[in-house]
Amino acid sequence: MIAAVRAGAGVAADGLDLGRSNGDFLLGATTPDIRVLTRWDRERTHFFDIYDDGHQDCVENFFSTHRMFRDPSNLTTETRAWVAGYLTHVIMDQEYVLQIYRPFFGSRSVLGGGSQANLLDRVLQYELDRREREAAGEMQHLRRALFGSAVEIDAGFVDRGLLEQWRDTTAAMTEHPPDWERFSFIASRHLKGAGIESESGLREFMETIPELLDDTLGHVEQSVLDGFFESTSERTATVLRDWLGAA
């Protein structure tokens, strides 16, 4: 989640006219994960079905479902920034599935897409998120920006009270230290899927994290991750410029 926020910050700084609404942009970059609170289906917030191998476009699906956001000139500055952030997240998520999950962890990968593969994918995602938390100064900046958001956003399918609750939840996440203490909570479903449920089993698993992480980063090399972030940032900037009508 924090990785999506930081990616959003990078795109927002890439010459796009978002006014003074950087906090609203960052909030939008986390809002697809609001299903943590609502328990909505993933496709309802991400506009992409990870189990469908056919062609999908999360951006077009988003605008087809929520037509009120299609024309940015009809939106307030704050709402426009929020939508831009939202698109940043869903694009990043779709590209992760296409470039990382399916080739390296999915059903057609060497790992075969089983419970162990999904657990390793979660280890990788957590590590990418953990790395972002190491920049304490950046986390403080993000937290301040997030707490200044949501007041003037018309999010349509997310009511104001829920959006403010999510803002506070997201801002609190920037305070979590860059360690592995919360992994068992974040990855509980995948741990259970791998048969790890008892306290002793969890302790034994956590002791293997360094080795698992080394294996995972050997499986998905840093150059692949760098390429993913670079291409995703480029695609996101292009989509947002086209939507905003920027030169």
Distance from C-alpha of 105 to C-alpha of 125, rounded to nearest angstrom: 12
Of 24, 23, 65, nearest to 157 by C-alpha is 65
Contacts of 2 (CB under 8 A, 6+ apart): 129, 132, 133, 139, 142, 173, 174
DSSP 8-state code for residue 106:
S
Residue 227: how many CB atoms within 10 A of its CB?
13
Query: d(Cα 132, Cα 1) in Å, to the nearest integer?
Result: 10
pLDDT at 159: 92
Q: What is the mean pLDDT of each run of 10 residues along the chain (247 residues)?
A: 56 52 86 93 94 93 97 92 94 95 95 92 93 86 86 90 94 90 87 88 92 93 94 90 77
Look at residue 247 in the predicted model and tell me its pLDDT.
Answer: 41
pLDDT score of 17: 54
Characterize 14-49 residue by residue with b for buried, 16 or more Cβ atoms within 10 angstroms of its Cβ, and e for exposed. eebebeebbbbbbbbbbbbbbeeeeeeeebebbbbe
Nearest alpha-carbon partner for 159 in 47, 34, 20, 63: 34
- Cα(51)–Cα(12) distance, integer angstroms: 30
CB 223 within 8 A of CB 67: no
| Gap between the Cα atoms of 7 and 232, Å rounded | 9
Q: What is the pLDDT of residue 133?
A: 85
- Joined tokens for residue 186: 């974040």
pTM above 0.95, yes or no: no
Find the distance separating the first CA and the last CA of the chain, reported in whole Å.
30
